[in-house]
């Protein structure tokens, strides 16, 4: 057995010894759900846990009060590895995306790795990344240079299947606001109905979709549509999220939607204002060098999983600011099943699964996989080197040279 394999046995035992605490931390975050950029309890709780284990913590990084960076150097120099922790919840249903598992697995992968003998060398960092469900806290962290010296990134996500790679797609978030002229409903010709403009735009969007590629999906909410039926509404607005598997196509679709709304506004005599609510979430970039190591660690634990080619073909339209990270540093994000394939994220059922017996088992398993992958990176300099060479090749081509097997 190689030294690295022996270290993997040690880290598995270490995580088993921490099992009760790992589950306790996950449950505590789950029981105290907080919305994005307001995750004060979760951020402090997770970062304090890292401090207890010798990590130096910086809070409030990249201009976000609930973002943090916790670091610990081991051995005598080497790569810099970052685990990403998420911990924001959803309105009404709490942790319906299982970010309690994402946060707990990230910090305990790092903690378990830090307990190993000094054969490993490098810097272990945990980045607390707020508001994945909203504005995407990883994006200002990228702009602030937080990832500049990182050699590789690992995170995970609970899902309804297990796989060494969980692909994500690009998304743009728009607010479409029509302004017309108020009037009494008995004399509609004296006003300009802003709601009509909005409804016509959404109806036209359903027609436009026939000219879109089949990887384009969208959803919307009408946030303002008038006051009472007896008044022609002067204002009407909707939020619209549009997704596609690549940014170029997404940009073309968004331009067509804007053109449609502007044409309808002109035809009814209204004004329309379209703004981007959040920065673009980019599609994720696979790194085969890292995926292979994660796959090997799934195999080592005897966990059945979908291969990367299958997860690409059976694409679920998940979007995350992790995609933006994967385009600036070699990254990998495996998925771990916390329930059957019929389980759907962003539901109360998913929130329940995130602290179920199956969810707890999944949490411990993925923590082991992430920690073992950390050993691969910190124990063999050829691994981060290969990951960086692959990443450089893709980025030099504008990510157009990705392997065909992993193209959408």
Band (pLDDT 50/70/90 cuts) for residue 401 is low
Please list the residues that pair with 226 across neighbouring strands.
none
Confidence tier at 164 by pLDDT (50, 70, 90): very high
What is the per-residue pLDDT for 402?
A: 65
Nearest in space to 237 (alpha carbons), one of 224, 228, 227: 224
Q: Higher pLDDT residue, 190 or 2?
A: 190
**What pLDDT is recorded for position 348?**
98
> Given pLDDT bands bounded at 50, 70 and 90, which one contains residue 404?
very low
- In this predicted structure, the answer to whether residue 315 has a pLDDT above a threshold of 70 is no
pLDDT at 202 over 90: yes
407 against 22, higher pLDDT:
22
- In this prediction, residue 367 carries a pLDDT of 98
Tell me the three-class secondary structure of the chain, residue by residue.
Answer: CCHHHHHHHHHHHHHHHCHHHHHHHHHHHHHCCCCCCCCHHHHHHHHHHHHHCCCEEEECHHHCCCCEEEEEEECCCCCEEEEEECCCCECCCECCCCHHHHHHHHHHHHHHHHCCCCCCCEEEEEEECCCCCCCCCHHHHHHCCCCCCCCEEECCEEECCCECCCCCCEEEEEEEEEECECEECCCHHHCECHHHHHHHHHHHHHHHHHHCCCCCEEEEEEEECCCCCCEECCEEEEEEEEEECCHHHHHHHHHHHHHHHHHHHHHHCCEEEEEECCCCECCCCCCHHHHHHHHHHHHHHCCCCCCHHHHHHCCCCCCCCHHHHCCCCCEECCEEECCCCCCCCCCHHHHHHCCCHHHHHHHHHHHHHHHHHHHHHHHCCHHHHHHHHHHHHHHHCCCCCCCHHHCC
Q: Per-residue pLDDT averaged across 184-191, rounded?
A: 96
Kindly state the average pLDDT of the residues 208-227.
Answer: 91
Which residues are bridge partners to 386 per DSSP? Answer: none
Average pLDDT over residues 260-288: 96
Mean pLDDT calculated for residue range 145-174: 96
Contacts of 195 (CB under 8 A, 6+ apart): 178, 225, 226, 233, 236
Could you tell me the pLDDT band of residue 233, with boundaries at 50, 70 and 90?
very high
Confidence of residue 1 (pLDDT cuts 50, 70, 90): very low
pLDDT score of 403 more than 60: no
Phi, psi dihedrals of residue 386, rounded to the nearest 5°: -65, -40
Sorting pLDDT into bands at 50, 70 and 90, what band is 309? confident
Residue 111: its pLDDT value, please? 98
Query: For 366-389, how does the pLDDT look when each residue is reduced to its tens digit (9 = 90+)?
Result: 999 999 999 999 999 999 999 999
> What confidence tier does 114 reach under pLDDT thresholds 50, 70, 90?
very high
Question: Is 397's pLDDT higher than 90?
Answer: no
Average pLDDT over residues 228-250: 94
Handedness of CA 176, 257, 318, 285 (dihedral sign): negative
Whether 147 and 141 have beta carbons less than 8 Å apart is answered as yes
Tens-place pLDDT, residues 321-356? 999 999 999 999 999 999 999 999 999 999 999 999
Contact 193/232 with Cβ under 8 angstroms? Answer: yes
pLDDT at 218: 92
Task: Give the mean model confidence (pLDDT) for residues 276-288.
Answer: 93
Start-to-end CA span in the chain (Å): 38
Question: For the residues 275-296, what does the mean pLDDT come to?
Answer: 95
Task: Please determine, for residue 317, whether its predicted confidence score (pLDDT) is greater than 90.
Answer: no
- pLDDT tens for residues 54-79? 999 999 999 999 999 999 999 888 99
């Amino acid at each position: 057995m190689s030294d690295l394999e022996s270290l993997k046995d040690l880290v598995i035992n270490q995580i088993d010894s921490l099992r009760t605490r790992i589950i306790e931390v996950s449950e505590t975050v789950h029981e105290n759900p907080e919305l994005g950029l307001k995750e004060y309890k979760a951020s402090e709780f997770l970062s304090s846990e890292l401090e207890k284990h010798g990590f130096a913590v910086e809070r409030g990084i990249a201009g976000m009060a609930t973002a943090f960076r916790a670091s610990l150097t081991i051995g005598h120099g080497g790569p810099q590895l970052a685990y990403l922790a998420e911990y924001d919840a959803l309105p009404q249903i709490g942790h319906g995306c299982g970010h309690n598992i994402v946060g707990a697995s990230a910090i305990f992968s790092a903690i378990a790795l830090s307990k190993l003998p000094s054969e490993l060398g490098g810097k272990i960092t945990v980045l607390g990344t707020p508001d994945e469900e909203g504005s995407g806290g990883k994006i200002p962290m990228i702009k602030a240079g937080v990832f500049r010296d990182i050699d590789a990134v690992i995170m995970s996500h609970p899902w309804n299947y297990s796989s060494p790679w969980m692909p994500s797609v690009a998304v743009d978030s728009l607010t479409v606001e029509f302004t017309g002229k108020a009037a009494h409903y008995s004399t509609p010709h004296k006003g300009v109905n802003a709601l009509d403009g909005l409804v016509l735009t959404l109806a036209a969007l359903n027609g436009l979709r026939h000219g879109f590629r089949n990887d384009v999906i969208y959803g919307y909410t009408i946030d303002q549509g008038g006051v009472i039926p007896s008044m022609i509404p002067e204002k009407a607005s909707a939020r619209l999220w549009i997704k596609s598997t690549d940014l170029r196509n997404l940009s073309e679709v968004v331009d067509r939607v804007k053109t449609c709304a502007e044409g309808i506004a002109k035809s009814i005599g209204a004004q329309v204002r379209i703004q981007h609510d959040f920065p673009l979430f980019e599609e994720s970039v696979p790194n085969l060098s890292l995926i292979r190591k994660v796959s090997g660690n799934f195999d080592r634990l005897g966990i059945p999983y979908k291969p990367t080619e299958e997860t690409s073909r059976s694409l679920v339209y998940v979007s995350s600011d992790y995609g933006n990270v994967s385009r600036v540093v070699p990254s990998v994000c495996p998925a771990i099943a916390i329930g059957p394939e019929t389980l759907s994220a962003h539901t109360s059922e998913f929130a329940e699964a995130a602290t179920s017996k199956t969810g707890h088992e999944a949490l411990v398993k993925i923590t082991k996989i992430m920690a073992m992958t950390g050993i691969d990176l910190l124990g063999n300099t050829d691994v981060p080197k290969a990951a960086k060479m692959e990443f450089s090749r893709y980025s030099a081509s504008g990510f157009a040279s990705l392997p065909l097997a992993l193209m959408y």
